[in-house]
């Protein structure tokens, strides 16, 4: 079995080289025919004619035909994986293919270019290899006229491979220039404190929205996945130290505010509880006094009604009732010219009476009579 002179995977360059070698061989053979050298004769004395060598013999024609068939067979299909698009161009008309697997194409008429589907990254403002900042891209001016050194990382992907290849000569560079423009425009509308500390997420969202809308208008086959601030800091050491001092003061302020809020949250409920208790006690006292006043009014009205009927008897009863309330608590004193002398110790006498009542009733009553 003859081997393919062009190898297992022939291409047009190898075929051209092989044909050139064959052409040189034919030219050298032709020169030898033109210069036959000394004439030769056979045994009878007749001149011998030399046979002309043919360039393409039967074997060489078969080899050439096999080489052409191998080249054609190797260019009539392509294999596409899940991670790439295929852009098939037929006489200048491009068409995208995204389904993975084996696909056929017309040799020498259709060409295939593969485009990755994956998410790609682009640093803006720094060199990813060394990590050093590119000041031409990273230094920007903020709303409050301060300089800030800011690094971004842009993630993008191909959403239309045909437009990615043919709608723009350099779509990636176009995306980078647009991203730089919107980054500077957005950073210029925020203060340096927002860029370095609290406003990073808001700035990222604004840049992503603006850049996404612009890429839809440009329609060059790329879409923005995400953009993040890698780092942001003042451009000089002096400014950085001053900014750190300001941040420390802000943190101290926040700590004091948090402590005050904690104290307030603890004391306000306690004060509210005490206030509620005072209000409840006052309401209870009010109700008690109102009820007592209403009871006194009711008793006075009843007494007045009795007084209108029997004035003398009512006055005497009121006098006796009053004396019953006052006399047990009174002490009788007689004051003469020499000073004060206590007389009639009614309290001790009443106490003695109570003790004797608890003892022998008959004996105590006799002693008391004596």
Task: Tell me the pLDDT tens digit for each residue of 218-275.
Answer: 999 999 999 999 888 776 666 667 777 777 888 888 899 999 999 989 899 989 999 9
Contact by Cβ (8 Å): 225, 119 = yes
286-317, pLDDT tens digit by residue?
Answer: 999 999 999 989 888 888 888 888 888 888 88
Mean pLDDT value of segment 118-124: 93
The confidence band for 27, taking pLDDT boundaries of 50, 70 and 90, is low
| φ/ψ (deg, to 5) at 255 | -65, -45
* Alpha carbons 48 and 42: distance in angstroms, whole number: 6
CB 4 within 8 A of CB 70: yes
Q: What is the largest CA-CA distance in the chain?
A: 209
Give the pLDDT confidence of 169-220 residue by residue, as tens digits: 899 999 999 999 999 999 999 988 888 888 899 999 999 999 999 999 999 9
> Model confidence at 342, in pLDDT bands (50, 70, 90)?
low
What is the tens place of the pLDDT at every residue in 40-89?
666 666 665 655 555 445 566 777 777 777 766 667 888 888 899 999 99
Strands 110-116 and 93-97: unpaired
User: Are the CB atoms for 233 and 193 separated by under 8 Å?
Assistant: no
Amino acid 136: pLDDT: 87
Percent of the chain with pLDDT over 90: 29
What average pLDDT does the segment 15-24 reach?
A: 69
Q: In the prediction, which pLDDT does 153 show?
A: 94
Q: Please give the structure tokens belonging to residue 347.
A: 């309290």
Q: What is the mean pLDDT of residues 346-367?
A: 58
Q: What is the pLDDT of residue 59?
A: 62
Query: What pTM, to 2 d.p., does this model score?
Result: 0.51
Q: 18-32, 91-105, 226-240: lowest mean pLDDT where? A: 18-32
Categorize the per-residue pLDDT at 369 as very low, low, confident or very high, splitting at 50, 70 and 90. very low
Strands (E), 125-272: 139-141, 147-158, 222-233
**What's the average model confidence in pLDDT over 331-347?**
60
CA distance 195 to 135: 17
């Amino acid at each position: 079995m003859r081997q393919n002179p062009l190898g297992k995977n022939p291409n047009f360059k190898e075929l051209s080289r092989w044909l050139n070698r064959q052409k040189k061989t034919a030219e050298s053979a032709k020169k030898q025919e033109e210069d036959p050298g000394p004439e030769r004769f056979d045994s009878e004395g007749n001149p011998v004619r030399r046979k002309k060598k043919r360039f393409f013999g039967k074997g060489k024609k078969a080899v050439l035909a096999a080489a052409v068939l191998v080249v054609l067979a190797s260019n009539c299909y392509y294999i596409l994986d899940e991670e790439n698009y295929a852009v098939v161009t037929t006489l200048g008309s491009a068409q995208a293919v995204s389904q993975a697997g084996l696909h056929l194409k017309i040799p020498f008429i259709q060409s295939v270019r593969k485009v990755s589907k994956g998410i790609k990254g682009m640093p803006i403002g720094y060199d990813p290899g060394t990590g050093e900042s590119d000041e031409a891209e990273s230094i920007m001016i903020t709303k409050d006229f301060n300089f800030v050194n800011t690094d971004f990382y842009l993630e993008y992907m191909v959403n239309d491979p045909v437009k990615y290849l043919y709608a723009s000569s350099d779509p990636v560079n176009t995306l980078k220039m647009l991203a730089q423009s919107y980054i500077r425009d957005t950073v210029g509308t925020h203060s340096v404190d927002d860029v370095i500390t609290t406003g990073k997420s808001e700035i990222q969202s604004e840049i992503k929205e603006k850049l996404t809308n612009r890429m839809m208008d440009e329609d060059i086959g790329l879409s923005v996945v995400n953009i993040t601030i890698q780092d942001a800091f003042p451009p000089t050491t002096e400014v950085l130290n001053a900014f750190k001092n300001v941040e420390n003061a802000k943190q101290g302020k926040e700590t004091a505010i948090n402590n005050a809020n904690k104290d307030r949250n603890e004391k306000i409920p306690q004060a509210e509880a005490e206030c509620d208790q005072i209000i409840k006690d006052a309401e209870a006292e009010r109700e008690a006094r109102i009820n007592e006043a209403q009871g006194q009014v009711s008793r006075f009205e009843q007494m007045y009604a009795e007084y209108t009927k029997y004035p003398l008897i009512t006055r005497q009863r009121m006098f006796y009732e009053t004396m019953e309330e006052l006399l047990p608590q009174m002490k009788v004193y007689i004051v003469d010219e020499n000073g004060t002398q206590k007389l009639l110790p009614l309290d001790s006498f009443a106490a003695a009476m109570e003790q004797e009542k608890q003892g022998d009733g008959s004996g105590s009553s006799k002693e008391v009579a004596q």
